[in-house]
C-alpha cells in the first residue's frame, strides 16, 4: 500500500512528465481535426476525455453535497472547517470543469448518481462522532480515487484544456488528502497507514466512485 508521500510524488511526476505532451495523445479519435501535425484541434475530446468529464463531474457534485451535509451536521469545529473548504474549492473546480465540458460538447450529469445518493443517505443516518468518522473516511477514499482519475486524464486525454485542468487540479486534491490525513489523526489519535482503506463504515461498499 502506497504511503501519502509516495502517492503524492508519483502523482506529481505524472503531471510534470505529461505536461509537455498535453494535446498529443498516443492515438487520436477517428476524424479528429488537427491544429498542427500530430496535435488535435482544441475541444475535440477522445473517449478518455469524455469518461473523465463524466467521472469528475459526478464526484465533484457529490463532494459538494456531502460537504454541505457535513457542515450542517457536525459538532466538530475541525470537520466543519474542512467541509467548508471542500464546498468552496470543489464548487470552483466544478464550475471550471463544466465550462470546459460545454466547450467540448460533453454533457455532464444533472443530478447525483444512485451510488452517491446512497452514500449520502447512509451518512444521514449517523450523528455525532459516528457521522464525523464516516464522512472523513469517505473523504480519504474518494480523494484518492479522484487523484487516480486526474492522473489517468493527464496521461490519456486528447483535449489539451481538459488535460491542463486535470494537471492543475491534482495538487489541490493531494492537499485535500493531506488535510484528511491530519483530520483522521485528530479524530482517532493515530494517522492511517495508507490512502486506500477497507472500512466497515456505511457506504464503504460503494468505493467504486470518485471524489
Tens digits of residue pLDDT in 110-132: 999 999 999 999 999 999 999 99
3-state SS assignment for residue 36: strand
| Alpha-carbon span 164 to 133, nearest angstrom | 34
- Please provide the average confidence, as pLDDT, over all residues in the chain: 81
Which position has the higher pLDDT, 11 or 22? Answer: 22
Which CATH architecture group holds 45-206? Up-down Bundle (1.20)
pLDDT of 34-71, one tens digit each?
656 566 666 678 889 999 999 999 999 999 999 999 99
- Residue 12 sits at the vertex; the CA angle it makes with 10 and 18, to the nearest 5 degrees, is 100
> Does the structure show a pLDDT above 60 at 5?
no
Q: Residue 23's pLDDT is what?
A: 54
d(CA 210, CA 200): 18
**pLDDT (0 to 100) of residue 76:** 97
Distance between CA atoms of residues 174 and 95, nearest Å: 20
Question: For the packed helices 128-156 and 4-19, what is the interaxial angle rounded to 10 degrees?
Answer: 30
pLDDT digits (tens, 9 = 90+) for 147-197: 999 999 999 998 999 999 999 999 999 999 999 999 999 999 875 555 444
Asked whether 87 and 64 are in contact (CB, 8 A), the reply is yes
Q: Is 95 exposed, middle or buried (0-12, 13-18, 19+ CB in 10 A)?
A: exposed
**62-100 pLDDT, tens per residue?**
999 999 999 999 999 999 999 999 999 999 999 999 999
Amino acid at each position: 500500500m502506497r504511503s501519502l508521500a509516495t502517492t503524492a510524488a508519483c502523482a506529481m511526476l505524472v503531471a510534470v512528465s505529461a505536461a509537455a505532451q498535453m494535446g498529443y495523445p498516443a492515438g487520436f479519435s477517428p476524424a479528429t481535426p488537427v491544429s498542427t501535425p500530430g496535435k488535435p484541434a482544441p475541444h475535440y475530446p477522445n473517449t478518455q476525455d469524455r469518461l473523465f468529464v463524466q467521472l469528475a463531474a459526478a464526484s465533484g457534485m457529490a463532494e459538494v453535497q456531502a460537504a454541505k451535509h457535513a457542515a450542517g451536521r457536525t459538532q466538530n469545529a475541525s470537520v466543519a472547517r474542512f467541509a467548508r473548504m471542500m464546498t468552496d474549492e470543489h464548487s470552483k473546480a466544478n464550475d471550471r470543469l463544466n465550462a470546459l465540458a460545454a466547450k467540448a460538447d460533453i454533457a455532464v450529469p444533472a443530478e447525483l448518481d444512485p451510488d452517491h445518493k446512497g452514500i449520502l443517505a447512509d451518512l444521514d443516518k449517523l450523528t455525532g462522532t459516528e457521522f464525523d468518522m464516516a464522512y472523513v473516511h469517505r473523504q480519504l477514499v474518494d480523494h484518492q480515487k479522484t487523484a487516480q482519475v486526474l492522473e489517468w486524464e493527464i496521461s490519456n486525454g486528447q483535449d489539451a484544456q481538459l488535460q491542463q485542468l486535470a494537471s492543475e487540479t491534482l495538487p489541490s486534491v493531494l492537499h485535500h488528502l493531506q488535510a484528511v490525513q491530519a483530520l483522521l489523526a485528530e479524530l482517532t489519535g493515530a494517522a492511517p497507514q495508507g490512502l486506500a482503506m477497507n472500512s466497515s463504515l456505511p457506504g464503504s461498499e460503494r468505493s467504486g466512485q470518485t471524489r
